[in-house]
Structure 1
Amino acid sequence: MHQEFEPPAPLRDAIKCFWYTDRAYTGPDFEVVPDGYAEIVFYFGSGCSLAGQALPSPFLMGLLNQPVVLTTQARLEVIGIRCYPWTVFDVLGLPPGKDGPRTFEHPVAQLQEPLQECVSGGRIADAVALVSQYFLDARPRAVDSTLFKAGAAMLEASGAMPVSQVAAAAHATVRTLERKFKQSSGYTVKDVSGLMRFEQARNRLWHEPEVSLAALAQELGYTDQSHLSREFKRYSGMTPAAFAQKRRR
């Protein structure tokens, strides 16, 4: 089961959505594939670990450059807060970093017990309401207008926009935009755009594994099919052709 919930209006410039997943795993390992978002993750049920080290709940799943393999025993229920990469650290009041899965100490951890009660009772809407109210009360800083405009342009173009055009949409110089992106997310505009575009390619191949790779490359703004293949393999560890074949099976 997977559900997504729209955040209240005052949070929408920083938080994409809240989500809930209830999933039983047939094996101990499961893979988290890169996408264009950062997630604050609360989990319930079996333990969750990375490379043999237990992850606390909550933990931060920052932007990934390659898949991460996590381990659990059987079943996990997750409440997630999906943030834009240029807002997640401001939402939490943490310094930016490029370390993917990340543990942190933060007052938001006080939600673990009440969220556990809601999830155990099947009251998922109540759990999401608790998380939503917490961030409303915390009142995260308003998103920098340059970052907001740049992010909106990148999202609309699904990452297929040159940095110079993103800067123009944000009414900023490339240098200023890159500095603000690095300060807010730890990544460059090109890094985040690449992940956004990969996510679009992966989603299309998941739903339409028979799609022409040449046509997909052109549609998503890659130079050619070879460019798509290189970028796809960079983030997923396999070529788009191999991914589509695996999906068809």
Structure 2
Amino acid sequence: MTDQLVEAARDALRAAGRPRPFAAGARLITAGSVSDEVLLVEGGAIKIVLADPDGAETLAGVYGPGALVGESGVMRGRPRSAHVVALTAGRAVHVAGSTFRRLVDENAAVRHLVDRTADDRRQVADDRQLRQTHDVLTRVGTVLLSWARTVGVPTASGVLVHGLSQRDIAQAVVASEKSVEAALGALRAAGVLTTSRLAIRITGPDELARLVSTPRHRRSP
């Protein structure tokens, strides 16, 4: 029933909105701007980036098809709280804010999707906080596995994650790029992934999962 409600909500948003393509690197939402529409991602991958007043950025999440973004600001009538940037080319349905609020009032399926999206974001935030109790290698491996499940493309030689840079990983795990580089080097040496420009191929997802769950990679209390 839950999956049926979610798909019914997406159908309602598709009927009420306008599909538009986006290019890799496009900024779909800018922090501080007016919250005047909601996006339903239909193809490609995006990242949500939180910007601190001092200019520091944290990668709060990576999402793919089916993701709803921008709904919080529209529902609360507040400016955007984060940047939304396309990691790859794709497309999204744009729904005007007034139309979206009406759908939330009238359509139980859309309300369910909004509630589920909020729950998912809270879970992502909790997971991000929990990761900080681990060392950098474990944090990097864990977040890569999460992204592989969310936006990874299965191939004959592993799961391919497109569009994410070393800086993105550093922002996601709250570590220096140098530390992330060292962690990626260790994971390459372990034979669980390969890297190229803006692409990571996880060649051994099960092996990577076992590696990051090994107690020796946990921080001491």
TM bin, normalised by shorter chain, reads under 0.3
TM-score normalized with structure 2 length: 0.28
**Which one scores higher on RCO, CA 8 angstroms, separation ≥ 6?**
2
